[in-house]
Amino acid sequence: MTDPRRPVRQPDEAEQNRVRKVVHCHLMDVTHKGAQSVGCTGASFVMIGMGIWAAELSELDQKATAQLLGALGVLYDPSSNDGQKRRAEKRRNQAVKRLHAAVDITMAEPGGSA
């Protein structure tokens, strides 16, 4: 089980939008370069990358990764209603917090004595 005691930084909406723009810019650049290197389309490169990132996340917490991906599926499904999307956003948020906690535990220095 991951350690939920460490808080996750949650910036305001303006900062979130700024960060999204920076991340989007970098992802587009990497996608362009990677697709050229592999010799595929950007969409193919992204789908390959999604599989790799899902595997990386599942090494931290398989259940949280499945919860995150399932929630994203509901959020982007055009047949989902508002209630389903609100519940999916709550599950997505919980999964992200669990994954952040798992990263913190993985990267923490061992300390103390048992």
pLDDT above 80 for 10: no
Residues of the chain with pLDDT > 70, as a percent, come to 89
Region of poorest pLDDT, from 5-9, 31-35, 76-80, 86-90: 5-9
Mean residue pLDDT across the chain: 91
pLDDT in tens, 52-71: 999 999 999 999 999 999 99
Instruction: Tell how many helices (H) and how many strands (E) occur in the chain.
Output: 4, 0
User: How many angstroms from the chain centroid is the CA of residue 103?
Assistant: 12
Report pTM: 0.79
Q: What gap in Å lies between CA 50 and CA 64, rounded to an integer?
A: 16
For position 2, what pLDDT does the model report? 46
Q: How many CA atoms lie within 13 A of 45 on its CB side?
A: 16
Q: What gap in Å lies between CA 104 and CA 99, rounded to an integer?
A: 9
